[in-house]
Amino acid sequence: MRIQYGALPYRFTRDAALEILLVTTRGAGRWIIPKGWPIKTLKPAKSASREAFEEAGVVGKIGAKSVGLFRYDKLDDESGVRVSREVKVFPLMVKRQTETWPEFEQRTVQWVSPSQALSLIREPELKALVEAFAARARKRAAAAAAKPAPASPSKRASRVNPTRRRRRRRSGSA
């Protein structure tokens, strides 16, 4: 089984709704996430980030920890034999999307809601991974919304003079 690295590009809309970016495969036009072969000079997460830029033109903050993996089979172009591949997936919080990118003319990209992503993705393991990621994102968003606002500084803290400096002790003196 050959290993690949993939990115799960996501963002939040102005009203805090989660969106996931899907891309089409070059051959069959199936909806997937950006993925590709390891790049020797890059760590796995950075390899996934590079693939996301090449396939979808997205740039952002890649998570160092994988959110899961999925397997798929593909016919080998040279031998015609079905080969299993395993994709280790890293979350990519998208900050921007460029106007053009290396595979711009070879793929279609689309921002979709998690439920739309689940209806478009055919690979069962990738579908399960996206569903689990969306559920975790919803929980984190709900927890962040429920957090109380930070308390105002205490009166004692406000009386401290921030410009006052402490005297340094000289080393060696007794």
Split at pLDDT 50, 70, 90, the class of 171 is low
pLDDT at 139: 84
pLDDT above 70 for 157: no
What does pLDDT average to over the chain? 87
- Select 2-140's CATH number: 3.90.79.10, 3.40.50.10280, 2.40.40.20, 3.90.550.60: 3.90.79.10
pLDDT at 164: 47
Question: Which residue ranges make up each domain of the chain?
Answer: 2-140
The burial of 74, by beta-carbon neighbours within 10 Å (0-12 exposed, 13-18 middle, 19 or more buried), is given as middle
Distance CA 78, CA 99 (A): 34
DSSP 8-state class, residue 121: B
Q: Quick: pLDDT tens for 7-53.
A: 999 999 998 899 999 999 988 899 999 999 999 999 999 999 999 99
pLDDT at 124: 95
Q: Quick: pLDDT tens for 100-109.
A: 999 999 999 9
pLDDT at 44: 97
* Helices and strands (H, E) in the chain, number of each type: 4, 8
Distance CA 49, CA 162 (A): 42
pLDDT above 60 for 161: no
8 neighbors 91 (Cβ within 8 angstroms): yes
pLDDT above 50 for 63: yes
Split at pLDDT 50, 70, 90, the class of 172 is low
pLDDT at 154: 53
Average pLDDT in the 87-101 region? 96
Q: Quick: pLDDT tens for 115-145.
A: 999 999 999 999 999 999 999 988 887 777 7
**Residue written as token pair 């478009």:** 120
